[in-house]
Structure 1
Amino acid sequence: MSISLLLEMAASTNPDRPAVVSGETRLSAAELSTLADGAAGVIAASGARHVAYVGTGGEMLPLLLFASARARVAVSPVNYRLSTEGVQSLIERLPDPLIVVDDAYRAVIAGGRVMTSAEFLAAAKTAEPASEFPDPDSVAVVLFTSGTTSRPKAVELTHNNLTSYVTGTVEFDSADPADAALICVPPYHIAGVGAALSNLYAGRKMVYLKDFSAREWINLVGAEGVTSATVVPTMLDRIVTVLDTETGPESGHLPTLRTLAYGGSKVALPLVRKALSLLPEVGFVNAYGLTETSSTIAVLTPDDHRAALGAEDGDAMRRLGSVGQPVPGIEVQIRADDGTVLPPGEAGELFVRGEQVSGKYTDIGSVLDADGWFPTRDLAMLDAAGYLFIGGRSDDTIIRGGENIAPAEIEDVLVEHPAVRDCAVVGADDPEWGQIIVAVVVPMPGVEPDSDELRAHVRAQLRGSRTPDRVVFRDELPTNATGKILRRTLLEELATESTTASKESA
């Protein structure tokens, strides 16, 4: 099944239902389909073998997804936040692309077959339509991984991968006529692609906020009657701060909002509990997925949140920090270093399998094993009830004196201290221990925590070997657009500070 069919089904079933709202642009399902046919004609006439998009999204993301499919070429939304060199290096890896770029980022494109978004939209309205159905096994979307620790990989997602995710998790035309989804994740992230496909398939109006601000997000919820939304942790933190501190009729109360999903990276439990207390009528969803899995593979449902929040049993309470249970069609295994499948309660590497899982990279090929399992490189554990707990990336493991230490284990304890707003734990090079544990802490506003007190707080709950060797303070942590902490950046900053201090003391 191709993603083209998702739009055709939506347009033929409810042609006049609102599909996309982005600023002043409003498109029904039928209007989006007609525009996609014209846009496919523009792509086909260009002779390009791929489409690259550099911009903030909005209506351009669903349009290019479906237009590229109907022109039988793949599309790659590229991270517009990268430097000129970074953007160019990614585009150069794509085969003979048509580059569609927002006016604001035109200067970062050095050459090639280029159209601004405005030019592309204008051409799509007058072009000879094209509407082909691609091979379901052909590549529909190529997304570059964030590359926080290495050269970004180009993940190839087929039409079958993407439609398997959508049809396995969403019921067609199941949304109420008044339902609206607020989308503010970037177009180059798998969550943005998944949101465009799944909301259209469900028949839900998509409201785009291209440049996030918590105040504007809250305003749009009210103005468009938003019933569901997806945010990354940094966005959730800012929304909660506004709701908690501002006065007025909107504060702490979003009457139309029924579901709020968060994901993209780990969310501190104090923030989750605060959000639940501010919005008791909203159903919270923790969604976990990867680019290579076509978006979400596990979900902690609203009922799961409420059950964990109200639980008295320790195991049940801890599930608030899980990512829930696998979605339909997804199998999971936790494996030891030697490949042995581990039982519940034991931590190892997470492997996943299912139709929505790609595991294939351009220039690398498939990394699935002989039985179709994908190695996520995430450390994880399943509890006895099948709830999945993610412990961070295997690359982040600190090896101190020969002992493997997961940063998340320390972070989960440290962030519960009342003086800590956010934190990250990293392993800094050390001649004696190999690595030492450094806790980078963002204090609560107006608070000056004591380093020894924070170390004692960790020591009281974990083994002494887990106690941070150093505690440093920051106003904020470096993160990417999806809220993932840039640990490499922290380590580079710490190394620079150490070198500077050594020179000054010499």
Structure 2
Amino acid sequence: MAQQRMMHTAEAVRGLRRLRELGLTDPRRPVETVRTALEGRVFGPPATAVRRAARTWPDRPGVADERGELTYRELDEQSNALARGLQRLGVKPGTVVGVLARDHRGLLLTMVALGKLGARLALMNTGFAKPQFAQVCERENVKAVLHDSEFIGLLDALPPELPRVLTWVDDGTEIPSGATTLDALIAANARTPLPAPKKPGGFIILTSGTTGLPKGAPRERTGPLATVQMVDRIDFPQGGTMVIVSPIFHSTGFGTWLAGTAFGNKVVTARRFDAERTLRLIAEHRADMLVAVPTMLHRMVELDKTIRDKYDTSSLKGIVVAGSALSPELSVRTAEVFGPVLYNLYGSTECAVATVARPEDLAAAPGTAGRAPTTCEVALFDEDGLRIRAKNVKGRIFIRSGAPFKGYTDGRHKEIIDGYMSSGDVGHFDDSGLLFVDGRDDDMIVSGGENVFPQEVENLLLERQDIFDAAVVGVDDVEFGKRLRAFIVPEPGATLAPDEIKSYVKSNLARYKVPRDVFFLDDLPRNATGKLLRRVLVEYEPPA
């Protein structure tokens, strides 16, 4: 135990040294370093990051959206005014505020304002149906809601007395009588600083909900060691420009926005993803970095070359993807289109960052999840809880993180072994020590007595030039217990047959990994963060 404590202390020292190397702490400005650390203990990450940026780079653009740009000073001052307006609506320290907004200035201003009040931020999924939204709001004890106008209909499920504020109003939208807008609150209140709250309200990021109602993963506060996880193995621009199309309500978008703000970057947001429009944003803003989910990146590299060639993306030095599995095929295609700039971030809402694959890792081993950053460690355990140290042996992935998770808001927790928390995934380390994620633990099926991870079959299918997207699931089978069923989205103009797909898999993998059924779809069901909704495919009713 003493040895373990010494090891963790040494890691913390390395982490702080890394922050100094990257310029996130500056020994030449000790007062600012101490001030930022103290503010982090009461304001929480969003407000602390923007306050520091406003002091350090007040006139740099902090965000660019469809309405233009705001400097860091403007983000700071407008969030002060918004916080005062929310106070008048009854938001107090500890009040849980649900936020249902796409990526734009309104979302960022809201997150910062709530931190300044010591209120609790609950980031809601923009893909919610009304029953899900109502259930999550009830479970998390939401007492006020800030939302985009497109979600007005969802709020019918909430008590009418709950305060609500419109964070964005679409053109042509009729605002309900008596509705309050974020802009009106900002215009009506002073922009001077507020007294600091006594303690941080914290924030709740929801899990993806691919297997049911999303769970709430709370964080009371995050320290500098949480920051080093994100920035240790990813070369973020400093004073540059980032385009974030990954939803900021989820952990990847949220974490990369915080890191980008810490480095004084302009963050370009998009309320809805469009592959060509994203290329246009990169070109127009001369962006240094793109943050996306693999599905988005896939759609970008699959654009016709004549479309891609219309936009100069040579400024890109990094593309960060996370949120769902990165296939080897997408690793290779991205390097062909954009060069060696891809970073694959593997983690979860609960575990934060686990590993990062840098461009050189992906060049050597396409699809790898990479290595753990400073203050993190990944271990494999078998079904009996015994540590697996051998290379190329599958095991359950467990993570020890510098940003520990203390349990879901519904009281449940992840399995923990020797201080390592389960990610819910299965994987292996190769001979070089690079991690590969082989699939979700609960995705594994037993067919005819053989263990099969659908992701292996999916990756093989995606290597074909005539397949745009693919998914494989297990369904009940009287003879085998479970059987594989493949769903394929062909490339435009491609003509495929089930027997052709089965023969292709049989030629490359073991017989028991060949799908018994093959269906062709126009698109695969995915949530807002790009994760495949496997349960929808499991319940799929083939046409008669």
TM-score by length of 2: 0.82
CA shift, 1:366, in A, is: 4.1
Aligned residue for 2:82, secondary structure, equals helix
Distance 1:41 1:365, change over 3 A: farther
Query: Is 1:182 paired with 2:243?
Result: yes
Identity of aligned residues (%): 28
Query: Is 1:278 paired with 2:321?
Result: no
Aligned residue for 1:32, secondary structure, equals helix
CA shift, 1:199, in A, is: 0.7
Distance 1:370 1:352, change over 3 A: closer
CA shift, 1:350, in A, is: 0.7
Distance 1:242 1:190, change over 3 A: same
Q: 2:468 aligns with which of 421, 427, 430?
A: 421
Question: Counterpart amino acid of 1:286?
Answer: N
Question: Counterpart amino acid of 2:361?
Answer: D
Q: 1:113 aligns with which of 143, 163, 167?
A: 163
Query: Which moved further from structure 2: 408-417 or 203-212?
Result: 408-417
CA shift, 1:96, in A, is: 4.3
Report matched runs for 1:17-416 at 5 Å.
Answer: 17-48=60-91, 49-110=95-156, 111=160, 112-117=162-167, 119-127=181-189, 129-133=193-197, 135=199, 140-160=202-222, 163-170=224-231, 175-177=237-239, 179-242=240-303, 244-246=305-307, 249-250=310-311, 253-280=312-339, 283-294=341-352, 296-306=353-363, 308=364, 319-343=365-389, 344-367=391-414, 369=416, 371-416=418-463
Question: Counterpart amino acid of 1:115?
Answer: V
CA shift, 1:247, in A, is: 6.9
| Count of aligned pairs | 478
Distance 1:123 1:226, change over 3 A: same
The aligned counterpart of 1:311 is none
Whole-angstrom CA distance in 2 between matches of 1:174 and 1:193: 15
Q: Is this contact kept in 1: 2:354–2:401, CA < 8 A?
A: no
CA shift, 1:244, in A, is: 2.1
Output one character per residue of 1:338-373: Cα deviation in whole Å (capped at 9) or x when no partner: 101112221111110122131521021543637432
Pairwise CA RMSD? 2.4
The aligned counterpart of 1:9 is 52
Output one character per residue of 1:90-132: Cα deviation in whole Å (capped at 9) or x when no partner: 2222224221111222222123111112622321343355342
Question: Counterpart amino acid of 2:422?
Answer: P
Gaps in structure 1 of 5+ consecutive residues = 309-318, 502-506
Report matched runs for 1:475-490 at 5 Å.
Answer: 475-490=522-537
CA shift, 1:71, in A, is: 0.8
Aligned residue for 2:104, secondary structure, equals coil
Output one character per residue of 1:60-113: Cα deviation in whole Å (capped at 9) or x when no partner: 232222211111122112122222222222222222422111122222212311
Q: Is this contact kept in 2: 1:16–1:28, CA < 8 A?
A: yes
Distance 1:404 1:146, change over 3 A: same
Distance 1:248 1:338, change over 3 A: closer
Whole-angstrom CA distance in 2 between matches of 1:105 and 1:286: 32
Q: Is this contact kept in 1: 2:247–2:253, CA < 8 A?
A: yes
CA shift, 1:52, in A, is: 1.0
Q: Is this contact kept in 2: 1:38–1:130, CA < 8 A?
A: no
Question: Counterpart amino acid of 1:403?
Answer: E
Distance 1:454 1:19, change over 3 A: same
Whole-angstrom CA distance in 1 between matches of 2:130 and 2:226: 33
Whole-angstrom CA distance in 1 between matches of 2:62 and 2:464: 44
Whole-angstrom CA distance in 1 between matches of 2:96 and 2:290: 30
Whole-angstrom CA distance in 2 between matches of 1:406 and 1:453: 21
Question: Counterpart amino acid of 1:411?
Answer: E
